[in-house]
Structure 1
């Protein structure tokens, strides 16, 4: 019997989901009252990778429970209670069924992932809200899986002045489906903020045919017209390619050049500047090759 071994990132999502289920079940047994898990707890229960959350904004060790009105909050050890904003009541009455809480098990519900995304806009910035949306549209994650129009529809049926709407609108313009990791999203947004004109054609999850038999490889990001691939190398990719040298050779053989960034590349201004210089130089080189028909 054979099977597919989950990747490192998927395994961590499973660990987080089990931990959150354990917290919820303990509180359900202890208090015997139905409740709704929201915010980071809802995301963990849905198997969604969490964004980077500012220190002190949300206690990640506790179960997060949401209610519609302040009077519904209780004081339970191991839990944080929040008034949901925007709540399901803020959604137009004709759409509430679509975004209603999802049953986890008897006595435990969780906020619909799309509504949880909008609620997280109170706690994280535009970049992380975009990274969260991308993680909910990941190509190798089947449930839940959404597309950009799902997020756009939700924002359209929410109140025009809900707190966080401006961030949500920014994220709508920058989110991309079929990515592999949040670090890729952060790197893409950092690249898109650069003035290099060539980056306006940046695509994600780009497929490159590497031989006449139809074999292909996927690049994290690419500038297709220039045949430049840009990849983030982190733990997420551990073991993804059995032979990086062969892969690089195959891409080079069909005219592609690959630039790889690491976590330090994104964090260190000097390393990032050097990376951008290399990218700009490579763009000039590839354009010259194209002009002479190489």
Structure 2
């Protein structure tokens, strides 16, 4: 469950980065767009888990230039070359940044596939104050880069797609808009690694005396099984979460609570997937078989994404509408991946 804590932390990080960038701009009139980690911080986007080759970019101001000849030596600034469209946005009318879609594509060279999916989710939060892009905009940028390369090749020029392009195409299949936190995204991906359907994100229900809908972090509405990620909270938040859980269970939902201890290693994640499978078994009265652990790359296999939803394989009549297809069937989108894999 995301909330004000995430917003305040990202806002604080944003203003720290703005202060550092303002100091740099006082020393230099050079104004290329800020990129990578710096762009995320300035746009208040939750940071992904960094690989070792990306950590060096965290403690410096990163900017993007379209050609190596445009790089300058300025203390505290690290220029990176990006020969694809440098779409820009302006933060606080003072700090040019690569757009969220451009920033996401640039990160494909530094992040593994799972973190690339998590970063895409982070850019499309349910909270309107933290939503920076859409799935269509991410896909459009990748398509624009592909079109640029094809045009150059058609003109007889040497050109190739950016590092991580294939992973961007794959990530678009599993990224979801309307999420609240990166840990919820990682929890969702755990289900897929063990052969369960992709749960719905922030599924709305009416619970207790609430007039406004309660949004379940992750849900299998066809089985009325929900998965809620609980971070570290103060006592008041713990009491609210306890009441929330009671209201959800009173509506007949099977509740699975997740903490950071359930994520991060194979053994813990498999145990979590088994807990979810057992809740589904309690509803359908049948055994739910998990698969051997898959990598996210294997999850993205086109054939796997086109499999039947679990309730159909179990010949179970859904208890509630499963939504807009965030589950097992991805349709034509997975066909595009066949040409990439």
Whether TM-score is above 0.5 comes out as yes
What 5-or-longer segments of structure 2 have no aligned partner? 150-160, 287-315, 320-341
Counterpart position of 2:278: 281
The CA distance in 2 between the partners of 1:30 and 1:67, in whole Å, is 19
Displacement of 1:115 in angstroms is 0.7
Seen in structure 2, the aligned counterparts of structure 1 residues 271 and 79 have a Cα distance that, compared at 3 Å, is same
Q: Does 1:37 align with 2:34?
A: yes
- 1:163-217 Cα offsets, whole Å, 9 max, x none, are 221111011101101110011111111211212xxx3251110112224874532
1:265 to 249, 262, 274: 262
Conserved? CA contact 1:64–1:80, under 8 Å: yes
SS at 1:226's partner residue?
A: coil
Counterpart position of 1:103: 90
Task: Tell me how many residue pairs correspond in the alignment.
Answer: 273
Q: Does 1:122 align with 2:109?
A: yes
Counterpart position of 2:143: 156
Counterpart position of 2:74: 76
Q: Does 1:133 align with 2:120?
A: yes
Conserved? CA contact 2:118–2:186, under 8 Å: yes
- 1:119-165 Cα offsets, whole Å, 9 max, x none, are 11111111111111111110114355322111111111112633221
The CA distance in 2 between the partners of 1:277 and 1:219, in whole Å, is 20
Seen in structure 2, the aligned counterparts of structure 1 residues 129 and 269 have a Cα distance that, compared at 3 Å, is closer
Conserved? CA contact 1:86–1:118, under 8 Å: no
The CA distance in 2 between the partners of 1:174 and 1:75, in whole Å, is 39
Conserved? CA contact 2:262–2:269, under 8 Å: yes
TM-score by length of 1: 0.84
SS at 1:14's partner residue?
A: helix
Q: Does 1:21 align with 2:5?
A: no
Q: Does 1:192 align with 2:189?
A: no
The CA distance in 2 between the partners of 1:50 and 1:79, in whole Å, is 19
SS at 1:49's partner residue?
A: coil
Counterpart position of 1:93: none
Q: CA RMSD in A?
A: 2.6
* Worse-superposed segment, 67-76 or 137-146: 137-146
Runs of 4+ with >3 A deviation: 103-108, 211-216, 235-242, 288-291
Conserved? CA contact 1:121–1:164, under 8 Å: yes
Displacement of 1:28 in angstroms is 1.1
